Amino acid sequence: MEEFKQKKEKNRPKQLKVKNDGWRMVIELVTGMLIGVSLGMALDHIIGSEPLFLIVFSLLGFMAGVKTMIATAKKMNETNN
């Protein structure tokens, strides 16, 4: 029983790091999307072209978020190896 408890506590920091890395990637994606949507809505409001910039900047925000996630995943992979 003691061996099991020691193994469990030994792996705990690694489990927390993996969870934190996952949340970091989710936050990067959501942030990119929010920035894109915000810019699109602002430009649509200023220019008056209802859904055009919202759609364009939503897609650009999504692509930027995915690009950032991929870069973060590569960096994490390098540090883990």
| Residue 35: predicted pLDDT | 94
Distance CA 37, CA 13 (A): 36
Q: What pLDDT is attached to residue 23? A: 87
Answer yes or no: pTM beyond 0.85: no
Residue ranges for the chain with pLDDT beneath 70 = 1-16, 81
Domain parsing of the chain, residue ranges: 25-75
How many other C-beta atoms are found inside a 10 Å radius of the C-beta of residue 22? 10
Ramachandran quadrant class, 49 (left: phi over 0; alpha: psi -120 to 50; beta: rest): beta
pLDDT at 22: 82
Alpha carbon distance 61, 43 (integer Å): 14
Q: What's the pLDDT score for residue 24?
A: 87
Tell me, what's the pLDDT at 3? 67
